[in-house]
Amino acid sequence: MFSDVMEDYLKAIYVLQAEGDPPVSTSAIAEYLDKTPPTVTSMVGKLEDHALVDREKYKGVELTTEGETVALEVIRHHRLLETYLTEQLDYSWSEVHEEADRLEHHISEEFERRVAEALDYPTVDPHGDPIPDADLEPLGEDESVRLSEFAEDDHVVVARVSDRNDEELAYLEDAGITPGTELVVDDIAPFGMITVRTPDGHEQSLPESVARSIRVEPVVEETA
């Protein structure tokens, strides 16, 4: 019903809404999708014409109920495809984002159902991102926090890693920093480097930009 580009915008707005309070500014959408502000403004107008977003002048846009449903369906397709590619076709987690981007708009609901069944109905993708259920219910609030917001000696576990930068994902995979990995924040340098220690004692220094792409949860120490 909607073009691939329209669906890409709806997906981006959904993600940006989840990261902060709506409305989402056109400048944020432009940065996320690497588009010019005039291009975004034009597309937002088309989305508004289709009742997929509500636009508030000088503030930004927010998905309507229909817009949210479309976004959730595309996100479900994307994350199921990423999972299928890694689990069934031996893709690396750093390779699947662009493949899923190309395929997410074109699979049938029957294909989606069969992929979900073959994977035993996964709830998260390889990067730790939640997969919307078949009913396309809105995703719950993300309780994870960016790694860059923690202090020295904090003990955390990786919950999610952004899938938008292939080189960062390959780097983190080589460093053994994937969802479920426990880390200790060893050092925070004044110029932006954050050093973490993995369970095997290996230290890894991460630029702040990379640390911001890693979402973690604090590890609660058990008491005797």
Residues 121, 79: Cα–Cα separation, whole Å: 12
Torsions phi, psi for 155 (to 5 deg): -110, 120
Domain boundaries, the chain: 4-63, 145-218
Confidence of residue 17 (pLDDT cuts 50, 70, 90): very high
The pLDDT value recorded for residue 31 is 95
Confidence of residue 19 (pLDDT cuts 50, 70, 90): confident
Instruction: Judge whether 4-63 and 145-218 match in fold.
Output: no
Class of domain 145-218: mainly beta
The pLDDT value recorded for residue 222 is 60
Whether the pLDDT of residue 144 is over 60: the answer is yes
Span 75-95, mean pLDDT? 96
How much is the pTM?
Answer: 0.91
Query: CATH number of the domain at 4-63, out of 3.30.110.60, 3.20.20.10, 2.60.120.10, 1.10.10.10?
Result: 1.10.10.10
Length of the chain: 224
At residue 118, what is the residue type?
A: A
**Cα distances (angstroms) measured from residue 46 to each of 5, 37, 57, 67, 70:** 11, 14, 15, 12, 15
